[in-house]
Chain A
Amino acid sequence: MDETVFRVVRNHEEQYSIWPADRELPAGWTPDGTEGTRQECLDHIDRVWTDMRPLSLRRAMEAAR
């Protein structure tokens, strides 16, 4: 079974993804502090990523309102 430990990460558009904890984080991504198995991380993302619009779009739509 896959025992890789992942980190939950987010980019400038507040889009979420996961990344193996033992690998160097790609530029432009920051960890949100959650670590665990793939499934644990994805479950966490299911809970916290409630507005899936990219941040810049959310801002543009709010400004246009």
Chain B
Amino acid sequence: MLPLSFAQERMWVMDRMRPGTAAYTIPVAVRLRGPVDVARLDRALSLVISRHEPLRTLVDADADGPRARLAAAVDGRLSRHQAADAASAADLAVTLAHRPFALDREIPVRAHLIGYGPDEHLFVLLVHHIAADGWSCGLLLDELATAYRDQLDGRPSTLAPLPCRYGDYAAWQRARLPEGSDDPHLGHWLRELAGELPRVEFPTDRPRPPVPGGRGAVVQHPVPVATAARLRSLAAGEGATMFMVVLAGLHAVLHRHTGHTDILTGAPSAIRGRAELEPLVGLFLNTVVYRSDCSGNPTYKELLHALRDKALAAQDHLDVPFERVVESLRLPRDTSRNPVFSVSLTFQNAPAVAPAFPGLDAVAVDLDVKTSRFDLSVLAADDENGLRLASDYDTDLFDEATVRRVLDHLTRLLDHAAEAPHTRLSELRMIGPAEHALLTAGSPWPAGDRPEVGLADLVAETTARQPDAVALRWRGGSHTYRDLGERADTVARRLRALGVAPEDVVAIGVPRGPDQVALVLGILRAGAAYLPLDPAYPADRLAFMVADSGTRLVIGAPAPVPPGVRVLSPQELLAPTPAETGAGDLPVVHPDNPAYLLYTSGSTGTPKGVLVSHRSATAFVTTCARCFAFRPDDVLVQFSSLNFDVSVFDIFTTLTAGAALCLADQDTLLDPGALTALMRAERVTVADLPPAMLSVMDADALPSLRLLFVGGEAYPGSLVERWLTGGRRFVNGYGPTEATCASLMHDCTGPQPVSPPIGRPMPDQRAYVLDPHGALTPVGGIGELYLGGLGLARGYLRRPGLTADRFVPDHVGDRPGARLYRTGDLVRVRADGELVFVGRVDAQIQLRGLRIEPGEIEAALRRDPRVRAATVTTRGEGDARRLVGYLVPADGVTVDPAEVRAALARFLPRTMVPAQLVVLDALPLSPSGKVDHAALPAPPEPGDERGDPAATGPAGEIFAEVLGLGAVAPTDDFFALGGNSLQATQLISRLRSRLGIDIPLQALFENPTPAGLAEIVARAAARRQAADAVRREEAATRGEEGDLLDRIADLPDDEVDALLTRMLEEKG
């Protein structure tokens, strides 16, 4: 029997995992000028193929795994084609390269001679990676040229006999490493890869498909000669190779892009350590994983030394196949990714040299076959042509510009590192000037006047301008600006009489309505800041806010107040006293005096009061009035309660612009039908409504609504599209209370395939995305959002330490002494500078090495039409820790969680599909209207869901048998029980031989449990029965059996089911 090497075995498994892929085909192309003797070239080809056994090895699978045998006849392998010109010859070559190899039926090499003109040919050799590596390809071409010359000369072959066979090497490898042996070399790798292995990958431009598509492209990136020279002398000085120098740079770039400190990359490494292996064609490659620790922000030189030591140690342990290492690590399998690493570095030391075909002018041609094996591979070559970088990458994941940027960052960073190797990673220059300008750019919208007055003064200016215009609409009636101003002044004078002054806080806890607006304005006119106390809040929380704020006055009585605090009734403040009119002795506020105090929930659970100045508030509302082109005939419905700063937008933008503020009580606002009726009746033109409310309202019922300003949480693009009709403007806003209502915005236009970005800074605001060391996060990277500019709050009331911790020195902008607010929000920078919300720094889930954004899974769940609302969290500890999704079905829909989960698995990688989905009537909400995770019910423990082991039937038995176990539970994970991919292929073979059912290997990786397998088997069996029935029918009616089967073979499973069902129905 012919043994397979470990590398061959691994390549075979990968080929089975992605049937039909051309990603493992190595294309070699040579342009031949001159007269080609086709018959002799063909004979030369046969000779070389028969010499090298891997080139004529066929691999079958039986119940015990792959079986290799040698094809006997390999003559007449050169196929001839004709093309119009060089370009179409290359196109044809690429098409040919995409034809997959059937490794069990055809030898892993194909040769094509494409003629395109007199004495012009493109010779294309396609070799499956199972039979060759890069070195082999050069060898193969050289031997071909030699054999061709021998043929022409009519002499016996001058090729030296091979010193050994590839099979000898494979047998030696297997003898050295018997199954289950305790190998000290393996021990090295298990120590090297101990602990949690983070998934280190460049953030992708598009969602990762469940299985790599294998589509790829290559970009080239020359390195300046001076940089290359500096790097060579750095390498020489540090006892390192150029490979190590580039590797350290790549690790630094990955660290800076991802924020990970534990960096993992892979590199192919030739294992032709013995002279007798050198003349062999075959796969002599192993994969080496390089792991570095970038925590503590080391210098480049420290990182280089660490990787140099790792690379040297790796050389001593190269004979352990990577696949053996992966299996021993017992990693959970993820069909969307390569095991352990996603980014690789390949270093080529020898340039491609064209073979010498006698009588022919031969030139090697690069064929861009557009396939990829990894997320992103950096290819480096350093030879007489200089240092060159290139990258081949998965085009399903990345845009060309992104990959170019990565290579540009790598070059720039290496250049700085060579100049100053003692620089810490965070301080190495990596970002170019244009990108830096984009990352630090201010607002794209023009700034306007910055009023140096108080918030109430803006309203007073409107009142002076248009006293008789309508300021408030309430229950069908209206109040003019004059009415409102007079009532506010009355309140203000009474508060002044009670000693109220700037820097004081007056609490207000009264229901919605014109009184509330007049009281708020009155407090501001008196120079004080208002503290809203929503009567709907728990009394304890209100009492805390009153006590914490130190206020002496509370208007209304929403909660018991501490001793020494005076409660004022709204009526006593508002009662008209005709004698007192005019502004009188009302104070002039300083722009830095606070306008309001709002309490927000902290991660610690203790609410904290955010103190916002008039300067911030007036800048915001005048910006909004200008950017949103508010007019006096606009009508805005105030949805937000005073407790949220959206109400600042609602009330003060409207009253600054001289428009009308439409008020309503809580019951009307929370009833979509009633709210719609109110907005129609009042001809509302502008609104800031929560996404949840918009999702249940009819966009077409509100033709006069011209502008929606929506924020507070992420929402799907479909919501935007539904409302982006009839010339309506839809603006996504983002901003924490600490930066005054909104700091970023995005004008939504055109199709909205995904959630809208949170946008770019509004005028007078700044936004920077920084890594934990304060370095700007590059385009594409994910970092924490910091906000600056006029919107910054003064701080947290009477919490100096907390204020100092969250409001930090601005080291990016150009204003000395400025501060930035650390938002705790993770965002990603798009190539156009738009920021995309990713999640909370503290909500990000790290599960089995993968960073998971629950928001991404929630968005996928919400795309399901059966789902109205969803949230995702983790439950359980240790190995039992898992993702759990909670969903609320759409109205009138009964949801089967298993179906939703199956649908989700079509969009998301397996690692992101929640292990459990729990159906709820409603998601528990906190007072701020966000999902209250603490109040979500506990899901059933996974053990409770284990069914009857017998229910998994023969599939379960084979499952246990392959693993050598007596019995398995229906939910046991094949790979967690120690199963490896070879055993997985055995399982598939046994299913085929015993049950007659053929399922793809990938199906097992996606459903690695007996229960999952049983389900697949049942479905496949049902399908086969149906197919058999059809075949019998077809045979009976002399149908075109072959046609149908061909059609079925090309269809996805669900379509086959549908087709067969339809056909069976038609047949009655």
B819 within 8 A of A: yes
CB-defined contacts of B794 to chain A, threshold 8 Å: 52-54
Q: What total of A-B pairs shows CB separation below 8 Å?
A: 85
Bound: A54/B810 CA distance, A? 17
B881 within 8 A of A: no
Bound: A2/B802 CA distance, A? 17
CB-based nearest A residue for B797: A52
Given contacts A52-B795, A53-B503, contact A17 B804 (CB under 8 A): yes
CB-based nearest A residue for B814: A27
Contact between chains at B800 and A45 (CB < 8 Å):
yes
Bound: A16/B804 CA distance, A? 6
B801 within 8 A of A: yes
Q: Give which listed residue, A28, A38, A52, A60, contacts B817 with CB less than 8 A.
A: A28
Bound: A17/B816 CA distance, A? 14
B803 within 8 A of A: yes
> How many residues of A sit at the interface, in one of the four size bands?
35 or more
Given contacts A12-B817, A17-B808, A61-B502, contact A52 B800 (CB under 8 A): yes
In the complex, what's the smallest C-beta–C-beta distance from A9 to chain B, in angstroms? Answer: 6
CB-based nearest A residue for B296: A3
CB-defined contacts of A20 to chain B, threshold 8 Å: 774
Q: Which of A5-31 contact B (CB under 8 A)?
A: 8-9, 11-13, 15-20, 23-29
CB-defined contacts of B804 to chain A, threshold 8 Å: 8, 16-18, 41-42, 45, 49
B811 within 8 A of A: yes
Mark contacts of B111-140 with chain A using CB atoms, 8 A cut-off: 1 yes-contact digit, 0 otherwise. Answer: 000000000000000000000000000000
CB-based nearest A residue for B588: A64
Contact between chains at A57 and B798 (CB < 8 Å):
no
CB-based nearest A residue for B424: A22
CB-defined contacts of B502 to chain A, threshold 8 Å: 61
CB-based nearest B residue for A24: B811
Contact between chains at A28 and B816 (CB < 8 Å):
yes
B316 within 8 A of A: no
CB-defined contacts of B807 to chain A, threshold 8 Å: 15, 17
Contact between chains at B774 and A23 (CB < 8 Å):
yes
CB-defined contacts of A60 to chain B, threshold 8 Å: 590, 592
Mark contacts of B778-816 with chain A using CB atoms, 8 A cut-off: 1 yes-contact digit, 0 otherwise. Answer: 000000000000000011011111111101111100011
Q: Is the interface of A mostly helix, strand, loop or mixed?
A: mixed
Q: Is the interface of B mostly helix, strand, loop or mixed?
A: loop
CB-defined contacts of A27 to chain B, threshold 8 Å: 816-817
B146 within 8 A of A: no
Q: Which of A44-64 contact B (CB under 8 A)?
A: 45-46, 48-50, 52-54, 56-57, 60-61, 64
Bound: A50/B808 CA distance, A? 18
Bound: A12/B801 CA distance, A? 18
Contact between chains at A45 and B592 (CB < 8 Å):
no
CB-based nearest B residue for A58: B592
Contact between chains at A57 and B805 (CB < 8 Å):
no
Bound: A46/B774 CA distance, A? 24
B593 within 8 A of A: yes
CB-defined contacts of A19 to chain B, threshold 8 Å: 808-809
Given contacts A23-B774, A28-B816, A61-B502, contact A56 B805 (CB under 8 A): no
Bound: A12/B810 CA distance, A? 13
Contact between chains at B503 and A11 (CB < 8 Å):
no
Contact between chains at B592 and A53 (CB < 8 Å):
yes
Mark contacts of B457-473 with chain A using CB atoms, 8 A cut-off: 1 yes-contact digit, 0 otherwise. Answer: 00000000000000000
Q: Give which listed residue, A12, A29, A41, A54, contacts B592 with CB less than 8 A.
A: A54
B63 within 8 A of A: no
Given contacts A11-B817, A61-B502, contact A29 B809 (CB under 8 A): yes
Jot down 21 A-B pairs with beta carbons below 8 A, ordered by A: A8-B804, A11-B818, A15-B803, A16-B800, A16-B804, A17-B804, A17-B808, A17-B819, A18-B805, A18-B808, A24-B811, A41-B804, A42-B805, A45-B800, A48-B800, A50-B800, A52-B797, A52-B798, A56-B592, A57-B593, A64-B590
Interface residues of A (CB under 8 A from B): 8-9, 11-13, 15-20, 23-29, 38, 41-43, 45-46, 48-50, 52-54, 56-57, 60-61, 64
For the complex of A and B, 10 pairs with smallest distance between CB atoms: A28-B816, A28-B817, A11-B817, A49-B800, A42-B801, A26-B811, A27-B816, A46-B801, A57-B592, A26-B809
